[in-house]
Amino acid sequence: MLILTCPYCGVSGEETEFHGGGEAHLKRFGPGASEADFESYLFHRENPKGVHFERWRHVNGCGKWFIAARDTATLQVFGTYPAQTTEPPQEIRDKITAARPGWRWRDFA
C-alpha cells in the first residue's frame, strides 16, 4: 500500500484518497520552441524502476497538488513537498541519497 503525506493539510492518507498526476518537474515548452522540445515536453516521460518524482493531488481531501518522491518498485516514499517547487528540495535529495546512494533522475542527483 502506498501511503502519502499531504504537505498542505498534513494528512497521511492511503493512495485512494489521492490522484496521481503524472511526472513532476517537467520543463514546459510552448510557442516558439523547437518541434523536438515540444514533442519531448508532451510525450517523453521517465519510466524508472526505482526513484521517481510524481505529481499527486489530494483529491478527496484538501484538494491541493503536491509532489512526491518515491521508489516505484518498493513504494518507499522519500518525501512530499508543495507543487510550487521547481526542483527537489535538498532535504528530500538527502533522504533519497541515504536510501539509494548514487541515484539519478533526469538532471537531478
Nearer to other proteins, 9 or 99 (CB): 9
Answer with the entry of other proteins, Zn ion, none that 10 interacts with (C-beta below 5 to 8 A by kind).
Answer: other proteins
Residue 83 interacts with other proteins (CB under 8 A)?
A: no
Binding-residue total with other proteins (CB under 8 A): 14
Pick from 2, 5, 11, 106: which binds other proteins (CB under 8 A)? 11
Q: Go through 89-107 and write b for each residue having 16 or more CB atoms within 10 A of its CB, e for each that does not.
A: eeebbebbeeebeebebee
Beta strands in the chain (DSSP E): 3-5, 12-14, 19-23, 51-57, 65-71, 77-82
Pick from 36, 42, 62, 73: which binds other proteins (CB under 8 A)? 62
